[in-house]
Structure 1
Amino acid sequence: MKDWGPGLLKSVYEQCLKFELERNGYDVKQQLVVKIEYDNLELESTLRIDLLVNDSVIVELKTVENILTIHEAQLLTYMKLLEKP
């Protein structure tokens, strides 16, 4: 992947990373829907995490020049909603 450099769609990098992780023995779920519950009501959600590795590590890929505070907040929210450390 690093041979290609920047410029490809995020989905391309995501597929390649999933392949590499699985090739190295990891269990990887891709585009996992994040369920949102509010006061015993399950809301329809379009939130998806990019990769969940070994049911414990959330990988959220970004094709941006810099990681922003909002990106960190997004990951922390996903961790909280999925109850992952």
Structure 2
Amino acid sequence: MLESIYEECLKYELERNGYDVKQQLTVKIDYYDLKTETDLRLDLLVNDCVVVELKTVESILPIHEAQLLSI
């Protein structure tokens, strides 16, 4: 899968630049007093602060740009 190759390369580059990176980390989600049944799997967690979710597409479409701007 291309995504897994990109993920490994990005992890390598981030670590090479001094970041602490955890890969394919499973975390429990607690929302106030709600305990969720489903765990969340993070592609990358950088410095225990930034979540990186990787997606691959053949080409960037206008909808992808709109998604980035809406976050």
Q: Do they superpose with TM above 0.5?
A: yes
Give the TM-score of the pair, scaled to structure 1: 0.57
Aligned to 2:47: 54
Q: RMSD in angstroms over aligned alpha carbons?
A: 2.6
Choose from 9, 12, 23 the match for 1:30: 23
Structure 1 runs (4+) deviating above 4 angstroms are: 38-41
Alignment of 1:1-85 (within 5 A): 9-37=2-30, 40=33, 42-64=35-57, 65-66=59-60, 67=64, 69=67
Do 1:34 and 1:45's aligned partners in 2 also have CA atoms closer than 8 Å?
no
Matched residue count: 66
- Fraction of identical pairs, as percent: 62
Of Structure 1 and Structure 2, the greater strand share is in 2
Unaligned residue ranges in structure 1 (runs of 5+): 1-7, 77-85
Summarize the Cα distance change of 1:27–1:39 in structure 2 as closer, same or farther, 3 Å threshold.
closer
**What displacement does 1:40 show?**
4.2
Unaligned residue ranges in structure 2 (runs of 5+): none
